[in-house]
Amino acid sequence: MIRFLLGVIVGILLFFFFVYLGGGKAVKKMGEGLTDTGKRMEVIEEMIKKEKEEVGKDIKKKIIKEDKEFPKKCQ
């Protein structure tokens, strides 16, 4: 019961702070900022994927090159 009442009081306080700090205007500003951040993250993810593929290709080339340099011993 105490937890329930505490939850109600905290909810009311959050509501009043929301209205006091600007309500919808504040949420709109936060949303715009998150949209910009999301776009930047997409660009960064694409760059990382490209670099990962390039590094993978380089590693495969080095492994193949090493296999050719060291002949396998036959019994």
**Residue 19's pLDDT is what?**
82
pLDDT score of 45 more than 90: yes
* Dist CA 50 CA 41 (whole Å): 14
DSSP 1: -
* Dist CA 49 CA 62 (whole Å): 20
**Residue 43's pLDDT is what?**
93
pLDDT score of 71 more than 80: no
Q: pTM higher than 0.85 for the full model? A: no
Tokens for 67?
């296999």
pLDDT score of 3 more than 80: yes
pLDDT score of 26 more than 60: yes
